[in-house]
C-alpha cells in the first residue's frame, strides 16, 4: 500500500489527526520537500524521513522532477512494502507528483490510500474571505502559458516560487489584464505569525523581496478590466437584441457582405503605411464583421462563432500534418504543394478545371486572374519565358485596335479583357503583384494631377478651363 497524505498549508492546526497517526506508526516516510513549516514538527517528534529535494538540483525541469519522484516511490514500495508519501497542502490539489504516482499505480494495480488535508486554496480563501460559489480558478504558475485567463472569475496562481517565475507569471497575465490591475500577494497563507497578504499592482509582482515557495497570488474578478473576446460577443448580441441598434438589427448576410471586403482593404492600407495603431483598428473592424456574420448565423439557427472557430482550427491542423502529424516538410515549397493537395481532397475537386472554378469570383479581377494563371502554370500551361507573355500583350492590343471602332460592345469588352489578362501574365512572370503595381500607378497619377492643379492655381487658372495640350504640358513638368 502507498499512503499519500497532505501536510496542509503550513500551520500545525491544519494537520489532521489521521495524518499524524499514520506518519507516527510508519517507518518508511518520504517527503516531496522538507521546505515546509510542518516538517519541523516531524523532526521534533523524532520522526525520520527521506526527502526528494535533491531531485530539484539534479533535474532539468519540474516535469522531470515529478516523474523521478513517482517512479522512485514505486521502486521504494516494491522494496519496502507499505510506505507514506507526504506532500504540502492537499494531495490532490496542484500536486503533479501525486497525479503521476496515481497513474503509475493504476497501471501496476498498486493500492493507494489518500488522506485528505487542508489545502493552500482553503487557506487563501479563508485569508481573503473568498466564497468559491462566485467562481474560482486555480492555476499552477508552471503551467500558466497553457492557460486562458478570465476576468469574470477570481484566479489563484500557486507555486510562485521565486522572482523569475513571478516575472513569467506577470508577462502572461499582462496579455489579459492591464498593468495596474490590483492583485493580492499572498505569502504563508494559513500560517499564524508569518502570513502576509497585501495588495500590489500587477506590474510590481516580480519586484517583491519576500517571494518564496509559500507564495501565491490572487487576481479578483474584475469585469471592467481589459476588453476581451467575450466582451465583443456580448456587444454584438446587445446591438442585435431587442433594445439594440435599429440599423444593426436590420442587417443580414447579403446587406453587409461587401463590408468585409472594404475592411480587409483598409487593413492592407494600414500595413502599407506601417501604422500599428491603424492596423489594430482595421483588424478589429474585420473581426467585427466575422463576429457580426456569426451572430446572424446564430440567430438563424445555422451556426455560431464556436462553429467558425472550430472549423478553422480543424482546417489548420489538417493542413499542417508536418506540424501536428508525423509528416515532414523541410521547405516552404513542400508545404505549399502539400497544402494544395489537401485542399483539393477536402473540397472534392476532381479536375484541373474544378480547381480554377473554385477560385472566388468575388475577388478583385487582377487578383483572380493571377491566381487562375498560377494554377494553370502548375500543370505546365504557361509561357517558357516572359518574352512570350510580352508578345501576347502586343497581339491582344492589335486585337483591340481591330474592334474598338465597331458597335459590338461585347467583342470590345472581350478583347480589352484579353489585353488586361496578358498584362497580369507579364506581372506574374516578373514576380510583381499586379494589384500593387496598378495602385502604385494610381497614386503616382494622383500626385502628378495634384501638381498640375497647384501649378494652374499659381497661374490664376483652373484645370477645367485649360486645353488638353496646356494640361499635358503641366503633366510633363510633373514628371521632372
Structure confidence by residue, pLDDT tens digits, 4-48: 999 988 888 888 899 999 999 889 999 998 988 888 899 999 999
Residue 97: pLDDT over 80: yes
- From residue 149, how far is each of 146, 152, 157, 205, 431 by CA, in Å? 10, 9, 11, 17, 44
Q: Could you give the angle at which helices 332-346 and 305-318 cross, rounded to 10 degrees?
A: 130
Which cell goes with 176?
Answer: 489579459
Question: Coil, strand, or helix at residue 197?
Answer: strand
Q: How are beta strands 215-219 and 154-158 bridged, if at all? A: antiparallel
In this predicted model, what pLDDT tens digit does every residue of 328-345 receive, in sequence order? 988 998 998 888 889 888
Helix (H, G, I), strand (E, B) or coil at 221: coil
CA distance 413 to 381: 25
Kindly report, residue by residue over 424-473, the tens digit of the pLDDT: 999 999 999 998 899 899 999 999 999 999 999 999 999 999 999 999 99
Provide the greatest CA pair distance for the chain.
111
Give percent above pLDDT 70 in the chain: 100
Q: 112 and 105 in contact (C-beta within 8 Å)?
A: yes
Between the two ends of the chain, the Cα-to-Cα distance in Å is 92
Q: Mean pLDDT across the stretch 59-73? A: 87
CB 323 within 8 A of CB 264: no
Give residue-wise pLDDT tens across range 378-403.
889 999 999 999 999 999 999 999 99
Q: Are strands 2-6 and 50-51 parallel, antiparallel or unpaired?
A: unpaired
- Strands (E) located in 43-131: 50-51, 83-87, 112-115
Of the given ranges (182-196, 234-248, 257-271), which has the lowest mean pLDDT? Answer: 182-196
Neighbouring C-beta atoms of residue 197, cutoff 10 Å: 15
The residues spanned by each domain of the chain are 2-117, 122-219, 229-303, 436-478
Domain with residues 122-219, CATH architecture: 2-Layer Sandwich (3.30)
Only one residue has cell 467562481, namely 135
How far apart are the C-alpha atoms of 192 and 176, rounded to whole Å? 34
CATH class of residue range 229-303? mainly alpha
pLDDT at 183: 96
Question: Rg (Cα) of the chain, in Å, rounded?
Answer: 35
CATH number of 2-117: 3.40.1010.10
pLDDT of residue 309: 96
Q: Mean pLDDT of all residues in the chain?
A: 91
- Cα 54 from Cα 38, distance rounded (Å): 19
Q: Is the pTM of this model over 0.75?
A: no
Q: Which of the four pLDDT bands, split at 50, 70 and 90, describes residue 412?
A: very high
Q: Which helix (H) or strand (E) holds 265?
A: helix 259-273
Contacts of 158 by beta carbon, 8 Å cutoff, 6+ apart? 94, 120, 121, 138, 139, 140, 141, 216
277: confidence class by pLDDT, cuts 50, 70, 90: very high
In whole angstroms, what is the distance from residue 216 CA to residue 140 CA? 10
Amino acid at each position: 500500500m502507498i499512503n499519500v497524505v497532505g501536510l496542509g498549508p503550513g500551520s500545525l492546526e491544519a494537520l489532521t489527526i489521521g495524518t499524524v497517526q499514520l506518519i507516527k506508526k510508519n517507518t518508511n516516510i518520504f517527503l516531496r520537500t522538507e521546505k515546509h513549516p510542518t516538517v519541523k514538527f516531524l523532526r521534533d517528534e523524532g520522526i525520520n524521513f527521506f526527502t526528494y529535494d535533491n531531485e530539484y538540483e539534479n533535474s532539468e525541469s519540474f516535469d522531470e522532477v515529478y516523474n523521478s519522484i513517482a517512479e522512485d516511490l514505486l521502486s521504494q514500495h516494491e522494496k519496502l512494502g507499505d510506505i507514506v508519501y507526504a506532500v504540502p497542502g492537499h494531495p490532490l490539489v496542484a500536486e503533479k507528483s501525486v497525479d503521476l504516482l496515481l497513474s503509475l499505480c493504476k497501471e501496476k494495480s498498486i493500492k493507494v490510500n489518500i488522506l485528505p488535508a487542508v489545502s493552500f486554496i482553503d487557506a487563501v480563501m479563508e485569508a481573503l474571505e473568498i466564497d468559491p460559489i462566485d467562481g474560482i480558478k486555480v492555476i499552477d504558475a508552471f503551467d500558466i502559458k497553457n492557460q486562458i485567463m478570465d476576468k469574470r472569475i477570481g484566479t489563484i496562481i500557486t507555486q510562485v516560487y521565486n522572482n523569475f517565475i513571478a516575472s513569467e507569471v506577470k508577462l502572461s497575465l499582462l496579455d489579459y489584464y492591464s498593468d495596474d490591475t490590483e492583485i493580492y500577494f499572498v505569502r504563508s497563507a494559513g500560517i499564524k505569525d508569518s502570513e502576509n497578504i497585501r495588495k500590489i499592482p500587477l506590474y510590481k509582482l516580480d519586484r517583491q523581496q519576500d517571494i518564496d515557495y509559500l507564495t501565491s497570488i490572487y487576481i479578483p474578478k474584475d469585469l471592467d478590466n481589459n476588453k476581451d473576446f467575450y466582451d465583443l460577443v456580448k456587444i454584438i448580441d446587445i446591438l442585435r437584441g431587442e433594445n439594440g441598434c435599429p440599423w444593426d438589427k436590420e442587417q443580414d448576410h447579403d446587406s453587409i457582405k461587401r463590408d468585409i471586403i472594404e475592411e480587409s482593404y483598409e487593413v492592407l492600407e494600414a500595413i502599407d503605411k506601417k501604422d500599428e495603431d491603424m492596423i489594430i483598428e482595421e483588424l478589429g473592424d474585420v473581426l467585427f464583421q466575422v463576429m457580426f456574420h456569426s451572430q446572424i448565423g446564430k440567430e438563424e439557427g445555422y451556426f455560431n462563432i464556436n462553429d467558425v472557430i472550430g472549423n478553422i482550427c480543424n482546417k489548420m491542423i489538417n493542413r499542417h500534418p508536418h506540424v501536428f502529424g508525423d509528416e515532414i516538410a523541410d521547405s516552404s515549397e513542400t508545404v505549399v504543394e502539400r497544402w494544395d493537395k489537401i485542399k483539393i481532397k477536402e473540397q472534392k475537386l476532381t479536375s484541373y478545371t474544378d480547381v480554377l472554378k473554385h477560385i472566388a469570383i468575388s475577388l478583385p479581377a487582377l487578383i483572380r486572374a493571377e491566381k487562375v494563371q498560377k494554377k494553370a502554370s502548375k500543370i505546365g500551361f504557361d509561357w517558357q519565358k516572359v518574352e512570350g507573355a510580352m508578345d501576347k500583350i502586343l497581339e491582344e492590343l492589335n486585337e483591340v485596335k481591330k474592334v474598338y471602332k465597331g458597335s459590338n460592345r461585347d467583342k470590345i469588352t472581350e478583347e480589352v479583357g484579353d489585353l488586361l489578362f496578358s498584362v497580369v501574365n507579364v506581372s506574374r512572370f516578373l514576380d510583381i503583384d499586379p494589384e500593387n503595381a496598378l495602385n502604385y500607378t494610381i497614386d503616382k497619377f494622383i500626385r502628378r494631377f495634384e501638381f498640375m492643379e497647384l501649378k494652374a492655381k499659381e497661374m490664376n487658372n483652373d484645370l477645367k478651363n485649360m486645353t488638353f495640350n496646356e494640361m499635358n504640358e503641366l503633366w510633363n513638368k510633373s514628371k521632372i
